[in-house]
Amino acid sequence: MHQQQFYIDGQWVEPSSSARREVINPATEAPAGVIAMGAAADVDRAVAAAKAAFPAFSATTREERLDLIARIGVAYKKRFDDMAKAITAEMGAPFKMLASGAQVASGLGHFRAVAAALKEMEFERLQGTTLIVKEAAGVCALITPWNWPANQMACKIAPALAAGCTMVLKPSELAPLSAVVLAEILDDAGVPPGVFNLVQGDGEGVGAPLTAHPDVDMVSFTGSTRAGKLVMKTAADTVKKVALELGGKSANILLDDADFPRAVKQGVLTLMLNSGQNCNAPSRMLVPESRLDEVEAIAAATLGKLVVGDPQGETTTLGPVANGAQFARVQQMIESGIAEGAKLVAGGPGRPDGIARGYFVRPTIFSCVTPAMTIAREEIFGPVLSIIAYQDEDDAVRIANDTPYGLSGYVSSSDLARARRVARRLRTGNVHLNGAPVDTTAPFGGYKQSGLGREWGAWGIEEYLETKAIIGHGAD
């Protein structure tokens, strides 16, 4: 109903132009919907609404914002299936295993984690006679990607609301349907007019004018490192605060004392989740050279149990990659691995057998990959694993850190103390030991070209706050 409208100042409104774009279902390559494409005029209208709403909303109490987030949680749970259907249609996540489970649940998880952090957060403290105050940053531009739509929208919207900010969301034009559902959820929950605004569009038509807008105080962007650099450059003229969560090329170090059957299987399945379209995917598996044959056999056997196919299928574990451009890139990267001499253990170019249509990729494993190969250097963002041999622990750490990225890392060892020591040596924003899952209460973000700032939980709220010192406040 609202696909071709924008949500501005508490109302569904008509866009400023007649430009439209089809949303393609990656499993069928057929249209799943049509959205309006925004322009600078729509951005101006949304930013003006957010600016007008800021004084009142930023003055709300902690208790009022906690009540709002609680109402959002209730409204969100009522729309679980609608959100899952939208995500499956727009980016191909298997409905039963992923879209209605991890994808949608992750969004609700962020609202809950932020609410818990907000209850404990200290916004004021006296330091001598100076009062240190943390207050809302202002109007925020939120720009989200197509790979985990509900997760990425929620982990920006929830902390921005908790901090007292107002916002304009620009979701990916490739996966915009879930944003419509989320806007309806926020409206049903009673988010005040102007506090949350939604404008659909691409980077050129909406992203750039939103990032450059003089009345936007902060930009929070998740996407590729290439696009993140453009966001920084565009935001620089108005010297606004910028938070970036960008690409990754995470190493998964299996130390020589690891439980290899368990660690290899877990590493393969973690990478293949969401068809490999995860910024923190363990795409480089580092193993002792003497165990290479064993690792290849376990990895290939694990891959053989995956079911690639219709996202609506009851047994499907892997859907398509999310769009045609990503399909082409993954195919190119697989071809480069073959051309540069990597050993193809499983998978390869083209679609899986029996599938003639849709952006389905054959889950692929390469071994004997050297750190200089393209598939070891560049983020593939698809179901492609590179197995790299190392000589000793120091060599493993050196290879792991030899990357322009630093988002995540993984270490497996039967000696937890040893795994901890190796984790401290990795130049990454987070490290998973022995298969530990993500923690939505912990900070998420990266070193180097993986971004700036942190999201999730209390650290997510901190990103949307400014710090003020009121000197002499406590003087007699």
Region at 387 (left for phi over 0; alpha for psi -120 to 50; beta for the rest): beta
- Tokens in use for 47? 């930013």
- Tokens in use for 403? 């990357």
Helix pair 177-188, 62-78: axis angle to 10 deg: 130
- Tokens in use for 109? 């998880």
User: Nearest CA to 165 among 56, 7, 244?
Assistant: 56
- 249 in Cβ contact with 378 (< 8 Å): yes
Give the separation between CA 364 and CA 304, rounded to whole angstroms. Answer: 11
- 397 in Cβ contact with 441 (< 8 Å): no
User: Nearest CA to 333 among 356, 349, 313, 316?
Assistant: 349
- 254 in Cβ contact with 263 (< 8 Å): yes
Phi and psi at residue 300, in whole multiples of 5°?
Answer: -65, -40
DSSP letters for 102-139: IIHHHHHHHHHHHHHHHHH---EEEETTEEEEEEE--E
Looking up tokens 């750490």 gives 397
Looking up tokens 């368990």 gives 262
Catalytic hit among 90, 173, 184, 245: 245
> Where does 246-368 show beta strands of DSSP type E?
251-254, 284-288, 343-346, 364-367
Looking up tokens 């309006």 gives 36
Looking up tokens 């807008």 gives 213
Chain CA centroid to CA 225, Å = 13
- Tokens in use for 359? 């952006």
Phi and psi at residue 308, in whole multiples of 5°?
Answer: -95, 130
Region at 24 (left for phi over 0; alpha for psi -120 to 50; beta for the rest): beta
Q: How many residues does the chain have?
A: 476
Q: State the DSSP code for 439.
A: -
User: Nearest CA to 376 among 350, 404, 347?
Assistant: 404
Give the separation between CA 185 and CA 180, rounded to whole angstroms. Answer: 9
Q: Is 245 a catalytic residue?
A: yes
3-state secondary structure of 241: strand
Catalytic residues: 245
